[in-house]
Amino acid sequence: LRPRSGLSLTLNGSVSESHTTQAFRDSSGAELQPGQELPGSSHLQYTAGANYLRPLGWNFRGGPNLGYTWLGHGWNDLDHDIQINGYGNLRAGFFFERAFSDVTARLAINGSNLLNQTRPTAGANNKAVLTQAPVYQYTLNPPREISVRVGFDF
């Protein structure tokens, strides 16, 4: 099977084993045992992508791109109060380029988080100063985004 000219395929992945090695007390006084997963670490993450760039005729080149990234679940702190991450990001786009006599013009249209998944990427739980009621704060991954880029090489 011969690969298609102009086709680029990528696959990257990682497995992380990050955990405590000794028992200790955290800032709230809780006893943590060895083996507790460290905050912010995702056990598994991977990304896959495909790009296809071809001549399109009349001095045009272009092609589609497609990619997916998975960021595995993790925790906000050593007590594992808030689960973070655990989402995928589907990306896709199209690229056009045309060479003129003195300039090359480019146009790229791309979308990110096309499945519009929303998950916390960071979190904290605290207490309100006056009432001591629990207060949870989250940072979320970016929403679906569509971008258009135009460029010129002189």
User: How many Cβ atoms are within 10 Å of 87's Cβ, its own excluded?
Assistant: 19
pLDDT the model gives residue 1: 55
Position 2 confidence tier, pLDDT thresholds 50, 70, 90? low
Name which of 26-30, 69-73, 146-150 the model is least confident about. Answer: 26-30
pLDDT in tens, 5-17: 889 999 999 998 8
Average pLDDT of the residues in 42-58: 92
Q: What is the CA radius of gyration of the chain?
A: 23
Give kind and range of the element (H or E) at residue 68. Answer: strand 60-75
- The mean pLDDT value for 39-61 works out to 91
Structure tokens at 124: 């904290």
Structure token pair of residue 77? 């702190």
Q: Identify the CA nearest to 86 among candidates 128, 40, 51.
A: 40
- Selection from 72, 86, 75 nearest residue 32 by Cα: 75
**Residue that wins the pLDDT comparison between 152 and 41:** 152
- H helix intervals, the chain: none
pTM of the model as a whole = 0.79
**CB-CB contact of 51 with 38 (8 Å):** no
> What average pLDDT does the segment 107-126 reach?
93
pLDDT digits (tens, 9 = 90+) for 53-107: 999 888 899 999 999 999 999 998 888 888 999 999 999 999 999 988 899 999 9
